[in-house]
Amino acid sequence: MRLTRDDIRELGAPDMTLAVLGLSLLLVGLVAISSASIEYAEWHFQNAWYHSQRHFIYLVAAIVAAAACYSVKTEFWQASGWWWLFASLALLILVLIPGVGREVNGSQRWLPLGPFTLQPSEFAKLAIVIYLAGYMVRREHEVRHKWQGFLKPMTVLFATTLLLMIEPDFGATVIVAATAFGMLFMAGVKVGHFMVVVLGALGALLVLVISEPYRVKRLTAYTDPWADPYDTGFQLTQSLIAFGRGEWTGVGLGNSVQKLFYLPEAHTDFVFSIWAEETGFLGAVTVIALFGALIGRILWTGLRALRAENSFGAYICYGVALVFSGQAFVNMGVSSGLLPTKGLTLPFVSYGGTSLIVCCAMLGLVLRIDRDIRIPSPNRSQAS
């Protein structure tokens, strides 16, 4: 007997559209990093494929993490939200301990684990999404109608963002805060309560920006990077040159000039610039379209979960969509000069093991939620 596609989905196969979109971005990332890092790796490690090999290892670990999240019932995540939050806070504190966390370029964001490193700020994004989704289900009435229901998660958010700013990691702080506010807004919090806290947060954000001279320099350099192209505007001007060289169809994979030490560490935060240079406007738009389709599919899954009365699953989907869309927008916006320079990875694409694993774990969670919508558990069916 031959199984049809619908039969396979009924047996519990994941949403193939969502899976293919995620795998497509992973493949783009592998190709882009391999091309962007060859000269850098050859010069620093005497192995042109050093970063490609490590990224492939991260890729395998990320797919395993996605499969693990897909195999675990969503009830587990809902019940263990507090534990994930405590674990993320513990890691954020641990990374700040002198001699434990690794400092790079003035920021102490990494925990060394032998030949690899762990970035707690990436794990914190996942933990915040899981915790808030569970909290909003448990305290739905309070969140929608009472101040305390809104302020309690704000206390958790304040503690998390404070630790992130001590590192400092301004980019992760913005993404975590924006994701939390977005999830609470989608949960139906009163607009008056929401606006008061958001305006306060924006005020605090402004203070944080002007309190550090290097942040002010980045902001002013963003408005006119060509005013100081060899210092504060160096990264942005080199990134814009890469976009300009790409024109419509690009210079061809492997033929980028900007990756030849003009654009510092091009395989990390500015990998999109090298991709645009080598594949042109068409390649850049393809990646943007993939992200748009992925985020749209996740939001559609969340809407279906809400209609199926799976509020926890819906909030998880909304949180994951906010993280992916926020990071993609900021990363590509910085690369193209739309936003001030800020170090944030491009989900599924940039080099970075922790980011890749966390992104795939989030996608695995969404795939599991989609499965639960199609095949409700017996307990949930009886409860409804």
- Higher-confidence residue of 149 and 301: namely 301
Domain ranges of the chain: 13-375
> What's the pLDDT at 382?
42
At residue 5 the predicted structure's pLDDT band, cuts being 50, 70 and 90, is low
| Percent helix / strand / coil, the chain, rounded to 5 | 70, 5, 25
> What's the pLDDT at 1?
42
* 41 torsion bin: left (phi>0), alpha (psi -120 to 50), beta (else): alpha
Contact 299, 112 (CB under 8 A): no
What digits encode the pLDDT tens for the residues 229-245?
A: 666 677 888 888 889 89
DSSP string, 77-113: HHHTHHHHHHHHHHHHHHTTSTTTSEEETTEEEEEEE
- Higher-confidence residue of 235 and 36: namely 36
CA distances from 237 to 124, 214, 270, 280, 340 (A): 32, 18, 12, 17, 12
Contact 270, 263 (CB under 8 A): yes
> What's the pLDDT at 307?
92
376: number of Cβ within 10 Å = 16
> What's the pLDDT at 383?
41
